[in-house]
Structure 1
Amino acid sequence: MYPRIAWAEARTGERIIVSNVSVIPMDVAGVIAGRDIVIADGRIAAILPHGESVAEPGDERVDGSGLFVMPGLWDMHTHIAASDNASAPNPADLPPDIARMLITDRLARYLRHGVTGVRDLGMRRDLLPLAAELRARRDLPHMVYAGPLIDGSPVPWSSGLEIHLERPEDAAALIAELAGEGIDFVKVYNRVTPEVFAAVTAAARDNGLPVAGHIPFAVSTRDAVAAGMTWIEHGYVNLFKDCTEAGNSAMTSVLGAWMEGGYEARYRRFDALYAGRDATACRALYSEMGEAGVFVAPTPHLDLPLDLFVGEVELAELSPAARASCATGLGQFADIPADLRARMIANLTEHYRELRAAGVRFLAGSDAPTDCQGYGRSLHQALEFFVRLGLTPHEALATATVNPALALGREDIGRVREGARADLLFLSANPLEDIANIHAVAAVMLGGAWVGQAAQPR
């Protein structure tokens, strides 16, 4: 008998052979049982029927019987360098060693939950050198990031993450500077004007950078996609606003309802806009998005009552200050009527189905640490909720594996196959049978090396 997978057995050999594991390859459907996976030089060297792998001197061989292996997950919408509550300073304002320790801890939490890659959607510009340092480390998740988000004129609640770009003629120099500082893509935000948006997308194209972000309030969905915005963050009213009478004022009408009447008013405005949309026009728009290769990170917890996503287990994942703030804030959702909740879930389920039918691909994202989302577990919650909203377990898992690989243009991640990076998540139960089994983390491998203590299987 070979030793079972255990963190204490993280020896360094010339190769690692995990024997008799069930493979969830993700580039094809289903499970391939009884396989030996040979890992060498950080990659999957071979996937063989159990018993056909031959150990060499110095190999580490472990028994994977009863385990399911799938690609490591990617959180495609997170903020690793954001404050997790209103009273906390931004990491950029902390002493450098403390900021490094804080962000490193957040990334390590991701690994404990099987998340081997993250896409950061906004950090202060002065944190870019630290981000570059951390993503060069082989013991932390892969990281791609936008750096500061590009917004229009400042408002009282501007957070310091923004660069306020008000003149189109300044876009080219700014984007070139940020590209030189190592960003992987450009993120635009709500208050960018149509003229600045056009200049930013052109400058991003000139620098070989994808454009992501919020569809600006003053830009139509169709125009944003036509300009080359193929990574869209959040996925509800901002996508179908073109198909409503409100048009570009749809999102501001939601924000206005929220400020005046709280969450119930916000959700009723969601419901009214969705019920009043031109469904035929929406489906035509979604087809254009699919043909353009658009990826959407829907973040459903922003479009439904937060108490559906956050309970005692989730609160325990947060820092003490964030936990206290969230525990109080969740009370705002207690009085949302059951019939409104049911309608919102039904609307979002239909909306997601129409997007997927049109070829729009989804990316899983937690938006941590905003809205009480902890690093790691909240991505699992997002996958579970995708299934509740109509995706199959395989489709949900694809949003954190294959689809991120496609969005990032990488052939070496997101799949369990020969030649791929050995960024692997080992589970003690099959997530294709029950998506909740994504919590049953037994072990995690990053670049062919076992990494620290895994989250406990539930």
Structure 2
Amino acid sequence: MKIPVRLQAITAIPTLFAVTPSPAFASLTPDIGSASSGVQQSTAATTVAFVGATVWDGTGSEPTSGATIVVTDGTIVSVSTTGGIPADAEIVLLEGKYVIPGLIDTHAHVSGRWMENGEDDIVERVKADLGLFAAYGVTTVNSLGDAVEVIEARDEIADAAGLAALLASGPVITAREPSEAAASAREVVAAGADWLKLRIDDNLGTSEKMPWQAVEAVVNVGREAGVPVATHIFYLEDARRALEMGAGLIAHSVRDADVDDEFTTGLTESGVCYVPTLTREVSTFVYGRRPGFFDEEFFTARAMASEVERLSDSTYMEQVRTSETAARYRVALVQALSNLTALNEAGVRIAFGTDAGPPGRFPGFFEHMELALMVGGAGLTPTEALRTATGTAAECLGLDNVGTLEPGKRADFLVLGASPFRDITNTKTLEQVYVGGRPVLEEEDGEG
């Protein structure tokens, strides 16, 4: 494994997540109230023109200064510097601001973390997580591994104001017998799953791998039903074989060895996307000491207090510090970063994903941490990292209505106070989030 100089920072992982001021974000709450003009709020007018921002549309083009985005009924009508503004449009002035497409997480989870906090209504649990994702600028979430009821909740809350859009796989398929695995896959397909998710690896040698006959059975069900398969892997050989069998998404980094030419070529030729989930590794060891981001306002504004308290417990931190598993995953992160560097340079389609949602993996906040790791740890440019989380992520999920700011697309976008292309951590200068043209954040009473 060739470790770039920049990866030396991983040995002091907390420094990657230094406290970053975010005053604008601190004054906002995730809600939709009655409208007024300005960055924080807009009305539910049929047509809205967002005027004057520097706009990056996610297509690969350079940012455009002084642009106007016209949105009608939640859909983008135009993005230009010369087009006219409809006479009946509400005007939202964004001079000096930066607008980028909403972030898309291709591998996250919803609903599970609330079970420890007494919330047993799955619809409310899903809404709470999707509201949290949206408040952090994550406007589409692919939930790879949750209760089958999450699929029903997805349909019940579709198009609800202030929530990220949801795709769902239902439960992770782990059955070892091919017939049982196929039956599980058919059950999830019948429930309306967007993806099938299966776990192949052995969890660092603590369980048996899923037999390849069972993997093949699930892939065949997915192929027949037109439902793609996402694979949980750790080892290079497993990732290579899953790709050969027809996996539609490599849903984690290869973390045991350097990726080789055969695997890299397989990804580039097939167009299958690779999801790094770097912060998944971080979550296994970073709580050995109280991380610096626990004092960051961008984090504390929305973090579940009971979860922060649990992770700050001295006994728990000692367990993490002395955990052999945590130590192994720390090494795995270095390998994952090295492989991300190589695959990105080879032109593999990288799809943004965090595995956020379970305890210790804070929805919404971890997405900003992931972007920082992709840039600071793996050497992607800010534009490359943002492209993985917008246009490429949409392509990898088969979504043609989000990911870029173009006519006909859903008006999902973020308003930032500073350029993320100059410094990727400026995604935390979040001033407003729009989902379907509707604002997610409004000023707290008494602010502004």
Task: Tell me if TM exceeds 0.5.
Answer: yes
What is the alpha-carbon distance in structure 2 between the residues aligned to residue 438 and residue 316 of structure 1?
Answer: 16
Aligned to 2:167: 144
What is the alpha-carbon distance in structure 1 between the residues aligned to residue 349 and residue 293 of structure 2?
Answer: 26
TM-superposed deviation, 1:200: 0.7
Q: Which of the pair has more CA radius of gyration? A: 1
Q: Is the 8 A contact 2:104 2:393 kept in 1?
A: yes
Q: Is the 8 A contact 1:364 1:400 kept in 2?
A: yes
Aligned to 1:403: 392
Q: Amino acid of the residue matched to residue 286 of structure 2? A: L
TM-superposed deviation, 1:333: 5.7
Summarize the alignment of residues 375-414 of structure 1 with structure 2, pairs less than 5 Å apart: 375-389=363-377, 390-414=379-403
What is the alpha-carbon distance in structure 1 between the residues aligned to residue 135 and residue 150 of structure 2?
Answer: 24
Q: For 2:310, what is the secondary structure of its paired residue?
A: helix
- The answer as to 2:189 corresponding to 1:179 is yes
TM-superposed deviation, 1:88: 4.8
Q: Is the 8 A contact 2:154 2:167 kept in 1?
A: no
TM-score computed with the length of structure 1 as normaliser: 0.76
Per the alignment, do residues 200 and 102 of structure 1 end up closer, same or farther by CA in structure 2, a change over 3 Å counting? closer
What is the alpha-carbon distance in structure 2 between the residues aligned to residue 220 and residue 344 of structure 1?
Answer: 16
Aligned to 2:305: 320
TM-superposed deviation, 1:350: 2.7
Q: Amino acid of the residue matched to residue 321 of structure 1? A: S
Aligned to 1:295: 273
TM-superposed deviation, 1:347: 4.4
What is the alpha-carbon distance in structure 1 between the residues aligned to residue 393 and residue 329 of structure 2?
Answer: 30
Summarize the alignment of residues 121-140 of structure 1 with structure 2, pairs less than 5 Å apart: 121-137=144-160, 139-140=162-163
The number of aligned residues is: 388
Q: Is the 8 A contact 2:281 2:329 kept in 1?
A: no
What is the alpha-carbon distance in structure 2 between the residues aligned to residue 369 and residue 201 of structure 1?
Answer: 26
Per the alignment, do residues 302 and 409 of structure 1 end up closer, same or farther by CA in structure 2, a change over 3 Å counting? closer
Summarize the alignment of residues 342-421 of structure 1 with structure 2, pairs less than 5 Å apart: 347-370=335-358, 372-389=360-377, 390-421=379-410
What is the alpha-carbon distance in structure 1 between the residues aligned to residue 385 and residue 236 of structure 2?
Answer: 32
Aligned to 2:15: none
Per the alignment, do residues 65 and 342 of structure 1 end up closer, same or farther by CA in structure 2, a change over 3 Å counting? same
TM-superposed deviation, 1:23: 0.7
What is the alpha-carbon distance in structure 1 between the residues aligned to residue 334 and residue 304 of structure 2?
Answer: 33
TM-superposed deviation, 1:310: 5.0
Aligned to 2:177: 167
Q: For 2:65, what is the secondary structure of its paired residue?
A: strand
Aligned to 1:440: 429
> Pick from 31, 35, 55: which aligns with 2:86?
55
Q: Is the 8 A contact 2:114 2:125 kept in 1?
A: no
What is the alpha-carbon distance in structure 1 between the residues aligned to residue 443 and residue 265 of structure 2?
Answer: 41
Detail structure 1 runs of 4+ shifted over 6 Å in the superposition.
216-219, 340-345
TM-superposed deviation, 1:36: 1.4
What is the alpha-carbon distance in structure 2 between the residues aligned to residue 217 and residue 342 of structure 1?
Answer: 15
Q: For 1:62, what is the secondary structure of its paired residue?
A: strand
What per-residue deviation string (whole Å, max 9, x for no partner) do you get for residues 4-58 of structure 1? Answer: 62434x22223101111111112124311011111113211112326x523323x
TM-score computed with the length of structure 2 as normaliser: 0.78
What is the alpha-carbon distance in structure 2 between the residues aligned to residue 127 and residue 4 of structure 1?
Answer: 36
Aligned to 1:249: none
Say what the alpha-carbon RMSD is for the aligned residues. Answer: 3.0
Q: Is the 8 A contact 2:276 2:354 kept in 1?
A: no
Aligned to 2:65: 33
What per-residue deviation string (whole Å, max 9, x for no partner) do you get for residues 223-255 of structure 1? Answer: 210111131222032xxx5xxxxxxxxxxxxxx
TM-superposed deviation, 1:208: 0.3
What is the alpha-carbon distance in structure 2 between the residues aligned to residue 173 and residue 17 of structure 1?
Answer: 50
What is the alpha-carbon distance in structure 1 between the residues aligned to residue 40 and residue 300 of structure 2?
Answer: 26
Per the alignment, do residues 107 and 28 of structure 1 end up closer, same or farther by CA in structure 2, a change over 3 Å counting? same
Q: Amino acid of the residue matched to residue 320 of structure 1? A: A
Aligned to 1:42: 74
What is the alpha-carbon distance in structure 1 between the residues aligned to residue 443 and residue 106 of structure 2?
Answer: 21
Identity of aligned residues (%): 26
What per-residue deviation string (whole Å, max 9, x for no partner) do you get for residues 279-328 of structure 1? Answer: 5x723322222222221221113335425785333466432332122123
TM-superposed deviation, 1:213: 2.5
Q: Which has the higher contact order (CA 8 A, sep 6+)?
A: 2
Per the alignment, do residues 351 and 193 of structure 1 end up closer, same or farther by CA in structure 2, a change over 3 Å counting? same
